[in-house]
Structure formats: structure tokens, C-alpha cells
Chains A and B, each alone.
Chain A
Amino acid sequence: GAVVSQHPSWVICKSGTSVKIECRSLDFQATTMFWYRQFPKQSLMLMATSNEGSKATYEQGVEKDKFLINHASLTLSTLTVTSAHPEDSSFYICSASRPNQPQHFGDGTRLSIL
């Protein structure tokens, strides 16, 4: 099956720090990558959709200047949480897809801001 790698799997950092999360599709070219956030006992909430080579489309209520997304190649997308604060602590999950194929998820990144 499709393999999506996400790194790091766990980050603990101080308030005000910026954190970068990488998402890689290892065995296929992902035309679209998605970034989700999941709080405890809640479902996945889509943050943004990114297509290779173009600007990400953010969901309503998601600050694009705080959550910077780069999708520079068909196999790599990055999410940078800038000036992270405790309320940004969550489980961040990426997914990758190609036309007419379901999304496959990375293993997620658990972000804890102290």
C-alpha cells in the first residue's frame, strides 16, 4: 500500500518556538497533500490543502501566517507552526493523494508546547 512518512513523530518545545513538520510520500507522487489537526477525543479537522507548486488553501479559521505550508515537490510538504503556544498543542497529521485515489495518512506528529 501507499506509504506516507511524517517526521518528527513527537515534539516538545517552549512557547514561542517555531516547529517544522515534514510529510513525504515514499512510493508515489502526491499531487495533493492535506494537513489535519486532531485534539483529544475529537475527529480530524482539515487545516489546509496543498498542491505541488502552488499556494496552500486554508480552511476557515486557520491562520495562514501561523501555519506555513510549503509543497515544493510531488513527494514533500512541510508545515511550520510559527511562534507556537500551548493552545497549538495537538496531533498533526498529513495525508497524501493522487488523482482518483484515496488519501493515505502519515503517522502523525504529536506537538506539545510548554
Chain B
Amino acid sequence: QKEVEQNSGPLSVPEGAIASLNCTYSDRGSQSFFWYRQYSGKSPELIMFIYSNGDKEDGRFTAQLNKASQYVSLLIRDSQPSDSATYLCAVSRNSGYSTLTFGKGTMLLVSP
């Protein structure tokens, strides 16, 4: 059974700090990895995706992938209260246009 594991949190960080969100997955055939942000009562919004081992940076966000360890993370620099949300990790055997398997999400709370 394919599983994506995340710590449910909440992860509390002060404004301006770096938030580190982690995710592990069980399916070694996974090729694509996604981070979605979901505000309470809203649908998920794509933040980052990464296909290759290493780091990928986009603004304040950095996704890190280690396929050997089956581990993917999201770093949020200079965290803002508006970053407070649940962050969902999702993996796919393709580039995301096929089935995604989601983790349960990590709640992030950024305090002013």
C-alpha cells in the first residue's frame, strides 16, 4: 500500500523564522513530489513540485528531495503569519497528471 507520512503538527514558528516541513513516502516508484498549501475550509493550492534529487528554490520556498531516503521536505524562509495553513505532501508515479497520493498534512502556525 502506497503511503505518504507527515507529522500532523502543529508546527509553531515565530514570524521571520524558517519553517521545515517533512514528508516520507513508501513507494520507491514515485517520480514526482508536490507540496500543496491548504487553508482551513479551502482547497489545496500548489506551492512547489520537484522531480530530481536535490534542492529546488522558488522565492521563500525550497523543496528538497532525497529519493534514496524516500524523503522530501519543504523549507519556508522568513515565515509570515499568512503562511499559517496545512501543508500537504503528495507523490506520483508520473509527473502529477496521474494519480496523486497525499499525506494527511502538517499544520503550520506562524506567530506574529
Contacts and interface: CB of A to CB of B under 8 A. Distances in A.
Give chain B's interface residue range (CB within 8 Å of chain A). 20 to 34
A73 B100 CA distance: 22
Give chain A's interface residue range (CB within 8 Å of chain B). 20 to 34
Interface in B24-67: 32, 34, 36, 41-46, 49
Interface string B86-112: 001000000111111011110000000
Given A44-B44, A93-B43, A108-B42, A101 B102 contact: no
Contact of A107 (B42, B95, B97): B42
A54 interface: no
A82 interface: no
Interface of B: 32, 34, 36, 41-46, 49, 88, 95-100, 102-105
Interface of A: 1, 6, 31-32, 34, 42-44, 46, 49, 93, 97-108, 110
